[in-house]
Amino acid sequence: DLERNAKKCEKEEKVEKNKLKKAIQKNNVEGARIHAENAIRQKNQALNYLRMSSRVDAVASRVQTAVTTKKVTQSMAGVVKAMDATMKSMNLEKISALMDKFEHQFEDLDVQSSYMETTMSQTTTTSVPQNEVDTLMLKVADEAGIELNMQLPQGQEGSIGVSTQVSQEQDELTQRLARLRQM
């Protein structure tokens, strides 16, 4: 349900971006700003839904891990009791089989713990820069081939060029990695 809401917000974001583009084409800077804010709000809402979905999944994973850990603990208690009985009879084959079972259960517990740690480490939050509205307006205007006459801080234009350069470098690295994998 949360993921569905995130997709709905993403669609609304696209609609707002189209309205933003039309407002820029009509040279309606105030209207464009409103649509840019709405698009960013929808984008943030989509991210919030995805974040919540991730948290719900993490909690579900924790619950599942707790249930599994309880089962493993109960199994291990049974194995320990069986080990006590086997040790009294000193049957080496039974002792070896029980030790193997005990080690296997510990390995299962390690795998589950590792999975849980990975899941929880992937649950992070992100923040959005304040100048995002202006950046989005410039991006849409640039894509539409329209000159946008508004005053922005000087650093803003430089950061767009840097991000483009970083994107190109990442593309080149991705291509190099793909070629290396083909060898």
Q: Are residues 31 and 69 in the same domain?
A: yes
Question: What per-residue confidence (pLDDT) applies to 124?
Answer: 38
The number of angstroms, rounded, from the C-alpha of 5 to the middle of its chain's C-alpha atoms is 16
CB atoms within 10 A of CB 17: 21
Is the Cα dihedral 37, 153, 137, 158 positive or negative? negative
User: 149: pLDDT confidence band, cut at 50, 70 and 90?
Assistant: low
- Please calculate the CA angle 147-163-15 and round it to the nearest 5 degrees: 55
In a domain, 95, yes or no: yes
Question: What per-residue confidence (pLDDT) applies to 42?
Answer: 93
pLDDT in tens, 13-41: 999 999 999 998 998 888 988 999 999 99
Q: Are residues 67 and 118 in the same domain?
A: no
Six token digits for residue 1? 């349900």
Q: Are residues 37 and 49 in the same domain?
A: yes
Which are the contacts of 152, defined by CB distance < 8 A and separation ≥ 6? 131, 134, 138
Residue 112 is part of which domain span? 90-139
Q: Are residues 3 and 81 in the same domain?
A: yes
| Separation between Cα atoms, residue 179 and residue 177, nearest integer Å | 5
Q: Are residues 106 and 71 in the same domain?
A: no
Question: What per-residue confidence (pLDDT) applies to 146?
Answer: 67
pLDDT in tens, 63-120: 888 888 888 788 778 877 877 776 677 777 777 787 788 778 777 777 776 776 666 5
| Separation between Cα atoms, residue 124 and residue 89, nearest integer Å | 54
